[in-house]
Amino acid sequence: MSKRIVIEGGKELHGEVAISGAKNAVLKLIAAALLVQDICIIHNVPDLSDVETMVELINCLGAKTKYNKITQTIEIDARNINNCTADYAYVSKMRASFNVLGALLSRCGEAKVALPGGCAIGERRVDFHIKGLQLLGANVNIENGYVIAYAENLIGADISLALPSVGATENIMLASIFADGVTRIQNAAQEPEIIDLANFLNMAGADISGAGTSEIIINGVKKGSLHGIEYSTIPDRIEAASYICALCAVGGEILVKDIIPSHLTFFLNKLQEIGVQIEAIDPYILKVKKDKVLKATNLVTQPYPGFHTDMQAPVMSVLSLADGISIITESLFENRFMQVPELRRMGANIQQENSKAIIKGVEYLTGAEVKASDLRAGASLVIAALAARGTSSISNIHHIDRGYEKLEEKFTLLGANIKRVEINENLSDNQIGNPKVMIL
């Protein structure tokens, strides 16, 4: 039996959608709570499989957690961390678990964390993370697929990143919180999630300035001095962008609520440029309307504040239906066009040439059986299926569940015809209505 998302496409979207807390922020906040020898309460936590994985991981390290999915709150008591090993079982499931490396090294003076390896979207090296920890004075070795780091005392250092890596910036920040003296991260990532992490740590007693700029300065504070806090995660800008892309592909008018529009500036400007109507209703709500065929455009993915690589696949579904030829250049990951063959199966006209996808807009897409290869590629298929004529069935949906809370519920409220079903793979006919297809 396998689970699928089945979508009957072509229904305009109308109504309101509330955006959840940011996955890529909350996972790092959970790692950061390992530095606090006290109780931290994190609010606005989305109900996602990645959050569950992170909670299981820190439980395994000795933290005590209470994860209430109804109130969207996690209480973390990290007073007794008694294990410094993050097993491959966690890191292979979710790369963000590698972020416990900096936190464990800082808290315990040692850490053994499985190397994540490559993934569907590219090689995804961790050399900047390792170099950063070494510059802070840690002894770091790789043995049997694990990064093993020791440091009796971490010492502040100037660390210049070759690329503004999000994960490396976060790991170095976490490692340097209790380091002697000052750490400067140059060419740091500037993402809103980095600011959220710095705000969380500062509220708990750390001394970080410059988060959100290319230079982050961490003044080391005394080990054990961080105190428990209550903190609310920022909204998920990628989830928001995905719903806006769905609207752009399908048509209609929606209110996107509980967001911080300034986190999406580049993306929203691009959409306005191609013909989408966007209006701020209040500081946290946007009205988005699409009532005509959109124009083609070109875009290049870049570190923040540029066009976010995680929004590239959802936007590709939109441009597949735009008037003219668009070119998307993926500059961050080598292999982030996994959605292309699946979109082609739905009638999209896309040619891939190395890091460029050349998209010739078509009048309509058609429903098909397609497979999600990774989280954002999966989102792009949901968007294409919502716009397509006929029925689509998307498999491998565990990828989508990593990053989209209550996906079917939210799209149903917007008027879409979307269901999660369980299908007996041994049967040839997978249509809804078949007695072997169970609607979940």
Active site annotation includes 245: no
Question: Which residues from 89-118 bind ligand UD1, rule CB under 6 A?
Answer: 95-96
Segment lying near ligand UD1 (by CB under 6 A), choices 163-171, 198-206, 212-220, 315-323: 163-171
Site pattern 174..213 for ligand UD1 (x: CB under 6 A): ---------------x------------------------
Report the residue from 67, 178, 333, 337 that binds ligand UD1 according to the rule CB under 6 A: 333
Residue whose CB is less far from ligand UD1, 67 or 128: 128
285-290: strand order across its sheet: 13-18, 252-257, 285-290, 277-282
Closest CA relative to residue 176, chosen from 113, 223, 128, 213: 223
Q: Does 128 bind ligand UD1 (CB under 6 A)?
A: yes
Min. distance of Cβ 100 from ligand UD1 in angstroms? 13
What kind and span of H or E run contains 148? strand 146-150
Tell me, rounded to whole angstroms, the distance of Cα 46 from its chain centroid.
Answer: 12
CA-wise closest residue to 235 among 270, 266, 267, 263 = 263
- Which structure tokens are listed for 384? 């294409």
* Site for ligand UD1 contains 124 (CB under 6 A): yes
Point out the catalytic residue in the list 84, 108, 119, 245. Answer: 119
What is the side-by-side order of every strand in the sheet holding 230-232? 64-68, 73-77, 39-43, 230-232
The residue (of 32 and 388) whose beta carbon lies closer to ligand UD1 is 32
Q: 167 or 367, CB closer to ligand UD1? A: 167
> Counting contacts by CB under 6 A, is residue 129 touching ligand UD1?
yes
Taking the complex as a whole, the smallest distance from the CB of residue 8 to ligand UD1 amounts, in Å, to 30
C-beta closer to ligand UD1: residue 147 or 208: 147
Using CB under 6 A, which of 166, 346, 416, 423 touches ligand UD1? 166
What is the C-alpha separation between 90 and 433, in angstroms, rounded?
Answer: 38
Residues 259, 19: contact at Cβ < 8 Å?
yes
Pairwise CA distance, residues 166 & 28, whole Å: 11
Written as six digits, the tokens of 433 are: 């209505």
* Pairing status of strand 369-371 against strand 391-395: parallel
- Confirm if 313 and 336 have CB atoms less than 8 A apart: yes
Q: Which is nearer to ligand UD1, 83 or 335 (CB)?
A: 335
Q: Which residues inside 298-327 make contact with ligand UD1, applying CB under 6 A? A: 309-310
Task: Enumerate the β-bridge partners of residue 417.
Answer: 8
Alpha-carbon span 52 to 64, nearest angstrom: 14
Taking the complex as a whole, the smallest distance from the CB of residue 166 to ligand UD1 amounts, in Å, to: 4
Q: From CA 427, how far away is CA 440, in angstroms rounded?
A: 18
Q: Name the minimum Å distance from CB 198 to ligand UD1.
A: 15
Q: How far is CA 294 from CA 218, 377, 433, in A?
A: 45, 21, 35
**Shortest CB 375 distance to ligand UD1, Å:** 8
Count the site residues for ligand UD1 by CB under 6 A: 22
Of the candidates 60, 63, 3, the residue with the CA atom closest to the CA atom of residue 29: 63
Q: Which of 2, 68, 71, 127 binds ligand UD1 (CB under 6 A)?
A: 127
Closest distance of CB 395 from ligand UD1, Å: 22
Say how many C-beta atoms besides its own lie within 10 A of residue 394's C-beta. Answer: 25
Smallest gap, in angstroms, from Cβ of residue 128 to ligand UD1?
3
Q: Which residues are catalytic?
A: 119
Task: Catalog residues that contact ligand UD1 under the rule CB under 6 A.
Answer: 24, 27, 95-96, 122-129, 163, 165-168, 189, 309-310, 332-333
